[in-house]
Structure 1
């Protein structure tokens, strides 16, 4: 028995040695030109590959070095995907039954390009190339006349980079997610697979986490994503929002959670297919290059030079509130619904020490903003403003707050704050006309000969002169 076991051990050692010699001496790289030709024909795009090699990692390991796929007709510019190293471990036993069973595929240091053109079309080819091993699991091909099934147990991305270019944004926007690790499990053809991604966006350490159950696109379905959960922590907004020198920009440190689904992975419908709910928290928020109060008062066309009059008459401590370049806000904590390509805010409240904005609106994933709100200025500042310009008394409510409806609209970063001019005109001019009417009626007792027509004309004339 001992002799028999010794023979078995020797045979196993010889087999391992034979495999080792084979892996060390077999030059698989000589097949690289044929592989490149087949890849380029299948993809219809230029492909470059530096080397193919074999090794042993608990199975036969096939390694590709510096694989890149390009968008244009030439292998130039930024690749759709560039992978420093990719290796897959083949299990030996399934090969005997004509099954290619890959225990794992690992992409090391991939750089993936995702772009949106000026017309809003999203190019996901680089991302699809990275995920193609997962989508190919369960497929059947042929080697010569022999059918061979292809299965992948898991796919991992280690220390990757995702580069996003948005030409539809004005100005064009570029974002980079670094230190990206991803894992895809439960790979089975036509069935949802579990995806987990983490990376660093605008941060030196990972602050973004994404998970969901993804059904890959196929000939019969555009694909979908269920149980989607996105979490972002401590993201500096000024590093990820489009900006122009001197243009308004929302700054602060963002934390958000979104849970929902994506009904289709068709790139042309992707943003509108997102549905879900979430929360947004913003610490240390500042609207840079925009003084909201000054912007509102500058649009009072019925009171020309209002800002200048206020700056001349207000006490120094209140003048600074109109001369500041930025608007510092209190921390935000709001809920939203994601639908129709936008984030819908049903109860949006923004405040400073001087005023509060309360309203509702939407922020589109394309950067379009449309918010309707009511501005209420706190009573002490309202009293100082009214004391400086008496006509503003018409805008105060029972609590002594100046109150007015307004809209915030535009394509970021070109956003305008627009008070409701019809409301302002009706409040200020009607109040002024009422005061003038009372004044003229008091004078009317001393001027009984004045006709009703001239009295009305006098009222209108003085009101209109005040509007000018």
Structure 2
């Protein structure tokens, strides 16, 4: 009986709780608690919690709760009513771990969560909630008095453990209230599992960012370490991230996962096409590199920068046209043992079909990391392209600031035209044998760069010296350059034929004279162009340049000992002085242009005291027979934005003087053309004329040039002149008096009018009659012209009216040359002796039709009337 009683009692003890639980499960109505739950949430957050679906409860040692159709209200300013919506929420907990003070959640399941995180225009987030202040409750007057610390309650010491979290068909969106842009993270599947509180957490994520799918799988250390639970030892990481065919792995450990300290990680990545990852980084422009791989080991050693080891970046064949037109990468490798060791670089590519390569070493990457101390950063690079090679070797003392640069640069280019693909497709000149070397450095004060010990060779041309560019609000170029020879003809010929594939035309020292046609079809209306001068470039930068050229070959001529000092400051250009020994003459002068104003003043001075005509013509024209010396004196000043505007107000003078010259008649005909043949009928086009003197001086003021000296005295004729030249409208207003020496000194004044491009010659009717009659009368008295017209003239004026020779003019060679030279002394021709009259021909034996020489008037008058 006693055993039976014990068994019955035990059965009652066991059955009663089970019966109680069964009765509770049968009679419990969870939906009745919805108002209380919603009210509690409203009191805690100030927002509504809607529990629209049923609430299910599963009892047992691992009780579970399922809530369906849940919605949590958004902030009043939100873009939609609900901040979060869930189709269902399931939570399962364990009862027994509570006895040991652990709150163990076995499983959390979120079905179709739709969560919106957003900010307003002020940056306030909708996740910021606060309990509302109850009506009638007094506001807190201040902080409560500090109470003595008490031992935490057992419940406060409970630890939380979540065994599994699963999300299916979820969406998390973030909307920026300032930019109104929304980023959406879709979660088709997410699972996180841990066997125990101290075991690693496995992750399995399939998601998409704004419609771009990616995955994350692997393992990390216990979640408890991230929830503040103390722990020791490394926190392991082994994760693999995948997207668009790319794969990245992170393996290692972190000693303090909450602070990120004490990490030691190995990172590897392989990317078939880097540009396909652009949707994940919308604000970053990713190059279309292909077959990209990256590997690095990073460790935190307690210093200001991490320790990086075994760094390697590689890229395969890639079309980089989108970044640099014409660039195709074949191979790129960058590697370094660690951040304290030099970086090795190797590159192979093509630029518009031309092979390009680079290899060498650069200083350590650690120099660019925060906290890096100053140390020389070595550079040793070799670049190759289309047969050319360039090197850069030296150090940079402070690479982060690009200061302390000291590099030796060198380049060897067999054919400059072969580098045209690297010049943006432009055709480079076909210059052979180009070499360059210099020492590059930065400036001690300010920013900029300098080149010292420059040695440049372009075929037969060379250049040496130094140059520096100072950067700032107005960049400034300072240079001191010299050359043994600059063959500008060869350089220009190479530029003219750049890319044409045509051979360079042969050049000769003396080119055959090419007559210039008197008329050109479609010729311009002006000789002096009205095109605006490119003066804007003078304001872009400043310059101070000294230039010395031992020889300059230009236009087939050789200029020697050329020197110039150029100063450019705030748009004001000054070349003073410049000197050069031009072909046959030393020339000196100066030039100034003030480009700081809209109507810039310009001043030009040129002086050549002795121009050897033979050398000058041999250098430029060739084939003409000339001899003698000319003097040039030019001092002009003007103002305007174009040559025509400057000419309209030109001031100053131009003087040209020469005595005892021999000039090829072909050259006279080439220069003077129809005007010379009109003034001197029957002027020979072959042979050489002796020019006793050439004296020309124009003094200009306000664009009107007055002829103070104008005399051209040859063995054939003497032409004196007066008048003006209007430079603005390009009009000629000159009165010329040609005296034909072979016609007894006859003079017929003419006017030279029209424009520079269309001159006209007309007889001066007012002064022609007396000159003609006097000449004819004098000729009759001397018996030089036995014509009816001579007899009539003699009868009209009397035989005593003429002396047989014209009176010598007041403006002779000596006077005119002195004016042309500005009063300076110089050579003058010997006085001209009067030629003996030709003997009268013997009387004819009654010829049937006497032959008379052509009357000079019959030759000159028709020409002057043109």
TM-score by length of 1: 0.51
Question: Are residues 182 and 104 of structure 1, via their aligned partners in 2, closer, same or farther at CA, if it must alter by over 3 Å?
Answer: same
Q: C-alpha distance in 1, partners of 2:262/2:180?
A: 23
Q: Which residue of 1 aligns with 2:172?
A: 163
1:84 to 61, 84, 88: 88
C-alpha contact (below 8 Å) 1:53/1:63 kept by paired residues: yes
**Any conservation in 2 of the 1:52–1:64 contact (CA below 8 Å)?**
yes
| Alignment equivalent of 1:227, drawn from 235, 244, 260 | 235
> Residues 75-105 of structure 1, C-alpha deviation per residue, up to 9 Å, x if partnerless?
945635747122334527968xxx9875534
CA–CA distance in 2 between the matches of 1:289 and 1:347?
20
Cα 1:172–1:67 shift into 2, 3 Å: closer
Rounded to whole Å, the distance in 2 between the matches of 1:151 and 1:113 is 28
> Do structure 1's residue 348 and structure 2's residue 313 form an aligned pair?
yes
* Closer, same or farther: CA 63–328 of 1 in aligned 2, 3 Å: closer
Structure 2 residues without counterparts, runs of 5 or longer? 129-151, 279-286, 319-328, 337-342, 357-381, 393-406, 417-433, 437-454, 463-484, 488-550, 567-574, 576-866
Q: Distance in 1 between matches of 2:16 and 2:4?
A: 18
Larger radius of gyration: 2
| Aligned partner of 2:30 among 7, 28, 31 | 28
Q: What is the distance in 2 between the residues matched to 1:344 and 1:78?
A: 47
How many aligned positions are there?
A: 339
- Equivalent positions of 1:31-430 (< 5 A) are 31-50=33-52, 51-73=54-76, 76-77=80-81, 79-80=83-84, 82=86, 84-89=88-93, 91=95, 103-110=104-111, 111=113, 113=115, 152-160=160-168, 161=170, 163=172, 165=174, 167=176, 173-183=183-193, 195-202=201-208, 207-214=216-223, 215=225, 227=235, 229-236=237-244, 252-261=245-254, 277-287=265-275, 327=288, 329-335=290-296, 337=298, 346-352=311-317, 354-358=329-333, 376-378=347-349, 381=350, 384-385=353-354, 396-397=383-384
RMSD of aligned C-alpha atoms? Answer: 6.0
SS in structure 2 opposite 1:397? strand
| Counterparts of 1:401 and 1:436, CA distance in 2 | 14
Shift of 1:23: 0.9
2: distance between equivalents of 1:42 and 1:386? 71
Report the CA distance between 1:211 and its aligned residue.
1.7
Structure 1 residues 163 and 101, CA gap change in structure 2 (3 angstroms)? same
Higher share of residues assigned helix: 1
TM-score, normalised relative to structure 2:
0.31
* Offset from partner CA, 1:33-68 (integer Å, 9 cap, x none): 222222333345443334444322335444433444
Distance in 1 (alpha carbons) for counterparts of 2:240 and 2:166:
20
C-alpha distance 453-8 of structure 1, shift in aligned 2 (>3 A): same
Q: What are the ranges of 5 or more consecutive residues in structure 1 without an aligned counterpart?
A: 127-138, 142-146, 237-251, 291-325, 362-371, 388-394, 406-422, 458-468
